[in-house]
Amino acid sequence: MSFSNEVRREICSAISDNDKRFACLYGMLLFSRTLSPEHICFQTESKISADFFGSLFRNVFRLSPPCRKNERRDGTVLYSYDITDSKIINEIYHVYKFINVRTINSEIIVTNSICGFTAGIFLACGSVNDPSKEYHLEFSVQGDILAEELVVLLSDIGVTAKTAIRRGQNIVYIKDSESIEDTLTFMGAQNCTLEIMNVKIYKDVRNKANRIANCDSANIDKVIRASMKQTEDIKLIQQTDGLESLPPELREVAEIRLENTDMSLQEIGESLSVPISRSGVNHRFKKIAIIADDIRNGQNTE
């Protein structure tokens, strides 16, 4: 099941009283594909939304409008409720106080049913991406006025939404993950909100692990380069003046490095006859590097 359908299923289960059912159907009708005094058409690709529309319609109007299924070539199914009976349409217009211009009538929605109304809008024209891929929730809205009013409605619950035009359709969309969480929670999809939060935690842990791994890799590369430079310096001294020319404390770290090119400075320090710290070992290698550079400079002079 897609994440959008998970949201639909959860918010349908949250529409649990008559006020919410009434408000939810209002949202589904107002944001339906067609709403006119001659024709009302609620259309969706989601069987969950289609079944719930039929259930709400029976609950509010005591009628069961027929649902038509159209199977497409790509395998998807389009569910349509077409209402053309003038008597039924007149009753719908009277109950929900519809006018010729689609606009939200706040008098229809009691305070505790705004969440049900918003859920109805989502069931009619909303979708949300799988959070593991992208944070994106959108509503495909009929008309500029309705799109602007939806933006205001969302802002009233603390959610910032933006609008765009896609293929001539008004799109109201949300990309901020926290705003998507707030919207889903408001509509009654708390479990789906938790799923988004879990995905965010997983992504955060994975990103931190990647940063640590990259840091470890960079440190390993740095250690390898330092070891190669130290070995190069020691071999130059060995081939010219000989290691016996070095002071005893430098000769000891030089011999250990030649025998253990993969040892860390700390491990070398612990292997000395008189153990010293990592910084002490590093200081000795700096002295060896100076001696090696003097030899190189002398060779270049000659």
- For 168-178, the pLDDT digits (tens) are 899 999 999 99
Answer whether residue 4 shows pLDDT above 90. Answer: yes
**In the predicted model, is pLDDT for residue 199 greater than 60?**
yes
C-alpha 23/C-alpha 109 separation (Å) is 6
For residue 141, which of 116, 163, 158 has the smallest C-alpha distance?
A: 163
The sign one gets for the Cα dihedral 268, 272, 278, 284 is negative
Q: Which of 10, 49, 4, 3 is nearest to 28 (CA)?
A: 49
How much of the chain exceeds pLDDT 90, in percent?
A: 67
Q: What value does the mean pLDDT take over residues 193-203?
A: 89
Tell me: the pLDDT tens digits for 114-162? 999 999 999 999 999 999 899 999 999 998 999 999 999 999 989 999 9
Residue linked to tokens 């305070």:
111
pLDDT of residue 111: 65
**Average of pLDDT values for 239-261?**
90
Q: Reply yes or no on whether the pLDDT at 301 is more than 80.
A: no
Distance from C-alpha of 179 to C-alpha of 185, rounded to nearest angstrom: 10
Q: Token pair 């700390």 is at which residue?
A: 266
Cα-based distances in Å from 248 to 244, 260, 266, 274? 8, 18, 19, 12
- What the block records as the tokens of 185 is 């929670």
Ranges of each domain in the chain: 3-188, 208-301
**What DSSP designation does 31 have?**
T
pLDDT given at position 217: 76
pTM exceeds 0.85 for this model: no
Q: Which two tokens stand for residue 259?
A: 């025998």
Q: How large is the average pLDDT for residues 216-230?
A: 82
> In the chain, where does DSSP find H-type helix?
3-14, 18-30, 47-61, 86-96, 114-125, 144-156, 177-187, 190-240, 248-259, 265-271, 278-301
**Contact predicate 123/8, CB 8 Å:** yes
pLDDT at 112: 66
Which residues have CB under 8 Å from 283's CB, separation 6+?
A: none
CATH superfamily of 3-188: Homing endonucleases (3.10.28.10)
SS3 68: strand
The C-alpha angle 127, 154, 40, rounded to 5 degrees, equals: 60
Query: Highest mean pLDDT: which of 3-17, 206-220, 227-241?
Result: 3-17
